Amino acid sequence: MSLERDPFLQRAALLESQGRYEEALGQLQRSLGEDPDNALTRSRMALALAHLDRDKEAIEHARAAVELNPEDAFVMRVLASVLRGADKSGEALKAARVAISMDPDEPNGYAVLAGIHLSRSEWKHAREEADIGLSIDPEDTTCLNIRSIALRQLGDRKEAIVGIKEALALEPEDATLHANQGWAHLHAREIPEALTSFGEALRLDPDDATAQAGLMEALRARNVVYRWILTFYLWMGRLKPGTQWVVILGLMFGSRILRKSTEGTDFSGVGKVVGAVYLLFVYLTWVGTPFANMLLFLDPIGRRVMKVRDKWAGGLFFATYVMAALIGWLAYSQGVGAESFVFVVAGLALGLPISSAFDMRKGARTKVAAAIAAILCLTYLGSGLLLVTSSDHDPALGLAFAALLGSMLNTWVAILMSRGN
């Protein structure tokens, strides 16, 4: 049954245009009850389920649609799209290429394939596929948008902004395009322009997750320290995962080699400074987001636009700094001496497990990370209590050192856990 003749499909289309996917799903289910073998309806159900992050069900309906009509390019594109959303990019690539072979003159097919390449950090391939789509329809805004993102990730920021402006000239009320323009400005470190673009995107669509995330980053980037951290984040984001590890390990071993090679020479001070700078750099990049959230949390304007999760991250991070200062002062006042520094460093290091807990998506891994952070915080608080209640400072120092060691080990545990996140 066609869209024009099916009232359920008509109502579903209206609800989808308003972003009311749960209600649209109900209408699609009623339509499917009337015609269970309708491949188009199953494909649209797959898209609605994907918007609701119900990936497993989305894939099931998309595959069912392909089985019902294996020669339809649209249902094959839908399958490719939902597979991409479920992080099954290999299967998504195959489905997208099949869809293009079925209908090589449809620009949306190249847009889907280009989008999959984006998810795989294959920026050059994404731009090439978007260019093919634009050769068919120069005004295809999806291809223009993807091409702009690819150019941005390839380092051509100016051309990326030009491209997104072309798309906005065609679709000035498209929230996604305004959000992409905001990210292009953010990559170019044009913070005021980024704030304007993200604000316009959210005016058009208050629930646009990409614009919400971008606005938060732009607000954090008003702080000069976080701005440099964000520049590093964005640069690393342009690299493939394997290359990212090369950079991380290269910096780590490079600083160690320099420190070791300068020991006992006139340049030993240089090696120590480089080592200290590297450790500070690692710490700031790891806790950069909660640190910036803390600054926003202390800013009345920033606090109004923060999500509850970000407020908790910023508030807890601030609490660890206060705790580190108080316990460090307590240790010094109790005559611990130079070892008071251990208490301060251990308190500051608690930002690592707290950052890990808030960086992960909701789920079992988040609960484990939160539990680890809570245990380490309680261990550190225990060191402070022992300082007050015992004249022997060694047990307190031991607990503080355990909290410090646990926080450092947590960084590697979090990396392993986040690989499947």
Domain that includes residue 215, residue range: 173-222
406 and 261 within one domain: yes
Q: What is the pLDDT of residue 419?
A: 44
- On whether both 241 and 361 belong to a single domain, the answer is yes
* Per-residue model confidence (pLDDT) at position 331: 84
Q: Are residues 155 and 177 located together in one domain of the fold?
A: no
Whole-number Å distance between alpha carbons of 354 and 279? 18
Residue listed under structure tokens 């909701």: 362
Q: Check whether residue 209 and residue 128 sit in a common domain.
A: no
Q: Which of 188, 222, 256 is the last residue of a domain?
A: 222
Residues in the chain predicted with pLDDT less than 70, given as ranges, are: 1-5, 240-242, 244-245, 248, 282-288, 301, 359-365, 411-421
Question: Does residue 227 lie in a domain region?
Answer: no
- Sequence-distant (≥ 6) Cβ neighbours of residue 392 within 8 angstroms: none
218 and 264 housed in the same domain: no
Count of the separate structural domains present in the chain: 3
CA distance 17 to 152: 29
**Within a domain: 133:** yes
pTM exceeding 0.75? no
Are residue 131 and residue 246 in the same domain, yes or no?
no
Rounded to the nearest 10°, the torsion over CA 304, 180, 113, 3 is 70
Q: What is the CATH number of the domain that holds 51?
A: 1.25.40.10
Whether residue 300 is found in the same domain as residue 207? no
Residue 14 belongs to a domain: yes
Tell whether 32 and 129 lie within a shared domain.
Answer: yes
Examine the fold and report which residue of 157, 188, 222 is the final residue of a domain before the chain moves on: 222
Angle between helices 268-297 and 241-261 (to 10 degrees): 140
Indicate the residue among 187, 222, 257 that finishes a domain.
222
Same domain, 184 and 199: yes
| 229 domain residue, yes or no | no
Q: 373: Cβ–Cβ under 8 A, 6 or more apart, which residues?
A: 350, 353, 354, 356, 357, 410
**Based on the domain organization, do 69 and 161 belong to the same domain?**
yes
Shared domain for 27 and 119, answered yes or no, is: yes
In a domain, 228, yes or no: no
> Residue 2 domain-assigned?
no
In this prediction, residue 391 carries a pLDDT of: 81
Distances in whole angstroms, Cα of residue 189 to Cα of each of 177, 192, 211, 335, 342: 18, 9, 16, 47, 37
Same domain, 92 and 187: no
